[in-house]
Chain A
Amino acid sequence: MFVPEDNPSTRAGVALGRQLYYDVRMSPEGQRACASCHLQEYAFSSPAVRRGLPHINLAWSTSFLWDGRFEGTLEEAMLMEVEEFFVTDLERLRVPELERMFDAAFGTPEVTAERAAYALAQFQRTLVSDDSRFDHYLDGDDSALSESELRGMSLFYSERGECFHCHATRLLTDNRFHNIGLDAEVTGTGRGAVTGQAREDGQWKTPTLRNVALTAPYMHDGRFQTLEEVVEFYSEGVVYTDTLDTLITIGGFRLSAREQADLVAFLHSLSDETFTTDPNLSDPN
């Protein structure tokens, strides 16, 4: 986890960030906050948002959004959210109860976009999910996974299933971009639209699979509603284009019905109830 020297996490800073994350005064019309679309019970995603990425373990990411069009630190990403996404009217935040929190976090009550962003970044660094049944298994609890989930895990970590190269490390993402074969026409889409590199057309960021059972709909455009649909796509629906990632088996992975069911079962084991119920991450109001 990268923490910049000018924004070390403090109790007061995290508290302010958490307040702002849930505070609809972040939007000029006073109706939206981060938490409006990033709900804790859905692992900080929302079933109503088709193109959102969940806020899970972003502290290890240096590119944001599906096409990675924003690159930088978490502080810079949050500043973009304050200034460009919400276009926050700072006057709305200049109220005594918030100014007291800015004072506690930064030493003076001054409300600035940068301070709001820094506090949000501090709170984002507490959105860490690492307590799923899969984690328990990795930490030595052999009874944490069912037989089906274990078979699914074996498939996940094989080249036949070929999940692990992209959904890598304990973050279950490589934070890179791949064309997994969703569409027949990829020209000028995805990462390629950002970089101008044709060989990156159709590439989208690898989402973490942590809490994936809670973060439907799936893919950059939310085209799949269930994990069963996702796995079936990988099995049968891969579309060949020039930029298809070489990790993807052309023609699909051709998984049996049982293999698909096992894989879905394993994906459910990645849910982290501690994360989705942690009172320290909930609405403070």
Chain B
Amino acid sequence: MSKRSIFTKCIALVALLTLWACGDDHEPGVTAQTTVTIDFEHFVNGAPVTLGSETPYTNAAGNSFGVTLLRYFISDVVLHLEGGDTIAVPGAHYVDHDDPATRSYVLDVEVPAERLASVSFVMGLPPALNVSGSFSTGPEALMEWPEMMGGGYHFMKFEGRYINDASEPFNFRAHTGGLHDVDYSFDVVLDAGNRPLPEGAATLTVVMNLEQWFTAPHEWDLNDYFTAAMPGIMANAAAQESLQDNGATVFSLETP
């Protein structure tokens, strides 16, 4: 055998071993895993929201408004894989637009790196989690909902300023939560288009499109809900139900 032939065979062997080693990192029958992070982004009319006292946005009813604060809970995330398997992540996650750390939620489960059909979660806290005293410290505790309105926690604090019918700035605070025994949390299901989850780490981005809270099926003229006589909606069952309905189109999903 010539030296050249031996060299060629060695190269081929190394290449073969390399291909064997790199072609599949996993034992036969073991599915690759990934860690899923959900990032939360907040948009108004297609652009990232900027918090401030100005009123640069317009809702469907024509109200000029701005956003000063956005905090909310989502809970009980479920990843639905293409084959029908589901990965449930029980528990609540608190998001504060002003606190970047809360805008990333690393799911504490290993997820097969397969095709993702959809993502679902509860907007707010389902009754099992909406129990006074569940959050005793941290900013979550400050989401408490008064006992005389039923106790538990705010699902969302969405606050800002709008220009009212008198052409004056007026504050709005779209605070949602369960009212007495009525639960206004709701399920959100977002289509993931059977996109493959990359092995190792995958980031999904859930976008809250804020103007949609005021859009459909119930168009909100903010003058109807936030006035000097009644500056908030926490005790307004009809308003809570209306925002629950409008929530159906608030979220969208971006996949890897």
A interface, CB within 8 angstroms of B:
154, 157-160, 162, 164, 168-169, 174, 176, 199, 240, 242-244, 246-251, 253-254
A168-B232 contact given A246-B160, A247-B173, A250-B169, CB 8 Å threshold: no
A247-B169 contact given A154-B148, A162-B232, A169-B144, CB 8 Å threshold: no
Residue contact B171 to A250, C-beta cutoff 8 Å: yes
Residue of B nearest to A169 (CB): B141
Residue contact B171 to A248, C-beta cutoff 8 Å: yes
How many Å from the CB of B99 to the closest CB on chain A? 12
Q: Which residues of B contact A244 (CB under 8 A)?
A: 53, 171
A249-B161 contact given A159-B234, A159-B235, CB 8 Å threshold: no
**Besides A162-B232, A244-B53, A247-B171, 16 new A-B residue pairs in contact (Cβ under 8 A), listed by A number:** A157-B146, A159-B175, A159-B230, A159-B231, A160-B230, A162-B231, A242-B53, A246-B68, A246-B171, A246-B172, A247-B173, A248-B171, A250-B169, A250-B171, A250-B228, A253-B231
Task: Identify whether the interface residues of B are mostly helix, strand, loop, or mixed.
Answer: mixed
In the docked arrangement, what's the CA distance between A158 and B230, Å?
10
> Which of B53, B144, B169, B170 is packed against the most chain A CB atoms within 10 Å?
B53
How many Å from the CB of A69 to the closest CB on chain B? 20
How many Å from the CB of A166 to the closest CB on chain B? 9
Q: Which residues of A contact B146 (CB under 8 A)?
A: 157-158, 164
B56 on interface, CB distance cutoff 8 Å: no
- CB interface residues, B 142-197, toward A, < 8 Å: 142, 144, 146-149, 159-161, 168-173, 175
B200 on interface, CB distance cutoff 8 Å: no
Q: Which residues of B contact A174 (CB under 8 A)?
A: 142
How many Å from the CB of B229 to the closest CB on chain A? 8
B52 on interface, CB distance cutoff 8 Å: yes
How many Å from the CB of B171 to the closest CB on chain A? 4
In the complex, 9 of the A-B residue pairs with CB atoms within 8 angstroms, ordered by the A residue number, are A159-B231, A159-B234, A168-B141, A168-B142, A169-B142, A246-B159, A246-B160, A247-B159, A249-B171
B interface, CB within 8 angstroms of A:
51-53, 68-69, 141-142, 144, 146-149, 159-161, 168-173, 175, 228, 230-235
Q: Which residues of A contact B160 (CB under 8 A)?
A: 246
Q: Which residues of B contact A247 (CB under 8 A)?
A: 159, 171, 173
In the docked arrangement, what's the CA distance between A253 and B227, Å?
11
Closest 8 CB pairs of A and B: A159-B232, A246-B159, A157-B146, A242-B53, A246-B171, A249-B231, A246-B68, A174-B142
How many Å from the CB of A28 to the closest CB on chain B? 38
In the docked arrangement, what's the CA distance between A240 and B164, Å?
15
Q: Which residues of B contact A249 (CB under 8 A)?
A: 171, 228, 231
Residue of A nearest to B53 (CB): A242
Q: Which residues of A contact B171 (CB under 8 A)?
A: 244, 246-250
Q: Which residues of A contact B69 (CB under 8 A)?
A: 246
Residue of A nearest to B226 (CB): A249
Q: Which residues of B contact A243 (CB under 8 A)?
A: 53
Q: Which residues of B contact A248 (CB under 8 A)?
A: 171
Residue contact B159 to A199, C-beta cutoff 8 Å: no
Q: Which residues of B contact A162 (CB under 8 A)?
A: 231-232
Q: Which residues of A contact B232 (CB under 8 A)?
A: 159, 162
Q: Which residues of A contact B234 (CB under 8 A)?
A: 159
How many Å from the CB of A85 to the closest CB on chain B? 28
In the docked arrangement, what's the CA distance between A174 and B144, Å?
11
In the docked arrangement, what's the CA distance between A168 and B153, Å?
12
Q: Which residues of B contact A157 (CB under 8 A)?
A: 146-149
A250-B159 contact given A159-B234, A168-B142, CB 8 Å threshold: no
Q: Which residues of A contact B53 (CB under 8 A)?
A: 199, 242-244
